[in-house]
Chains A and B, each alone.
Chain A
Amino acid sequence: MKERFQYLFNSTKGLILVAIAMVGIVTAIWGMLSGPMAEMGVREIVIKALGMKIIQSEREGRIIILYHSIAMAIIAIETYMVTGLIKMKAFFKTAINAAITVGYLLTMVFGMGFAYFGHNWAFHGLYITGLSLIFFAGVMLIIALWPWNPEYYITDKEYSHTKSGLDLERTAFFATAVTTVISALFGAVPGSYYGHGFETFLAENIIRYPEKTIMEYSIIGHLHIMLALIGIMITLIIGRWLNFKGGLHKFAMPLMILGTIVLNLGVWGVVTPLEPVAHMIIYVGATPSMFAALLLLIWDWNKLIRDGTAQLQKPTFGQKIGALLRDPLKFGPTWQMLFMNFTTSGIGIFMAIRLEQIFRVWPAREERIELTGHWHVLSAIIATIILLYFGDMNGFKGKLRQWYGWSIIILSDIAFGAVTIFEMKRLFITEAEQQPLVNGLMYAIDFGLGMLLVILAALMVYRLTDLFKNKGRWIEELDHELAQEVDK
Chain B
Amino acid sequence: MKRIFLTLCLCAALLASCAPAELNAPMPTFDTGIDPNTWAQVPAGEFHFGQFDEIESTDAYEIMITDVTAAQYADFLNAALADGYVKMDNEKIVGFYPGDEYNGIKHEERIDAGDWSFIPLNDPSQRIKFDGAIFSVQSGYENHPMTTVTWFGSWGYCNYYDARLPTEMEWEKAARGSDERPFPWGDEILRGNANFYSSRDPFEDMSSFGSRTTPVGFYNGQTYDGFQTVNSASPYGLYDMAGNVWQWTGDVYEGIHYRFMRGGSKDTYDMDLRLWVRNNATPTYFSPGVGFRCVR
Contacts and interface: CB of A to CB of B under 8 A. Distances in A.
Interface string B248-288: 00000001101001000001110110101011111001011
B27 interface: no
A430 to B, nearest CB: 7
Interface stretch (B18-26, B39-47, B154-162, B220-228): B18-26
B274 A56 contact: yes
Given A56-B187, A210-B255, A433 B21 contact: yes
Contacts of B198: 39
A395 interface: no
B210 A360 contact: no
Contacts of A431: 125, 267, 287-289
Size range of the chain A interface in the assembly: 20 to 34
Interface string B51-78: 1110000000000000000000000000
A363 interface: yes
B282 A438 contact: no
Contacts of A380: none
Contacts of B139: none
Size range of the chain B interface in the assembly: 35 or more
Nearest to B258: A208
Give chain A's interface secondary structure class.
helix
A434 B206 CA distance: 11
Contacts of A441: 17
Contacts of A439: 16-17, 206-207
A444 B124 CA distance: 28
Nearest to A361: B282
B288 A432 contact: yes
Contacts of B108: 210
A436 B206 CA distance: 8
Contacts of A365: 268, 272, 279
A349 interface: no
Contact of B107 (A199, A360, A435): A360
Interface string A445-472: 0000000000000000000000000000
Contacts of A361: 281-282, 285
A348 B287 CA distance: 25
A440 B13 contact: yes
Contacts of A34: 269
A95 interface: no
A208 B13 contact: no
A432 B125 contact: yes
A486 interface: no
A435 B198 CA distance: 12
A437 B17 contact: yes
A477 B280 CA distance: 55
B49 to A, nearest CB: 12
A432 B182 CA distance: 29
B152 interface: no
12 contacts: A56-B182, A57-B51, A57-B53, A209-B256, A210-B108, A360-B107, A364-B281, A432-B288, A437-B17, A439-B17, A440-B14, A443-B13
Interface of A: 34, 38-39, 56-57, 59-60, 199, 205, 208-211, 356, 360-365, 430-441, 443-444
Interface of B: 13-14, 16-21, 23, 51-53, 105-109, 123-125, 180, 182-183, 187, 197-198, 206-211, 255-256, 258, 261, 267-269, 271-272, 274, 276, 278-282, 285, 287-289
Given A39-B197, A439-B207, A440-B13, 7 more contacts: A56-B182, A362-B285, A363-B281, A363-B287, A364-B258, A431-B267, A435-B21
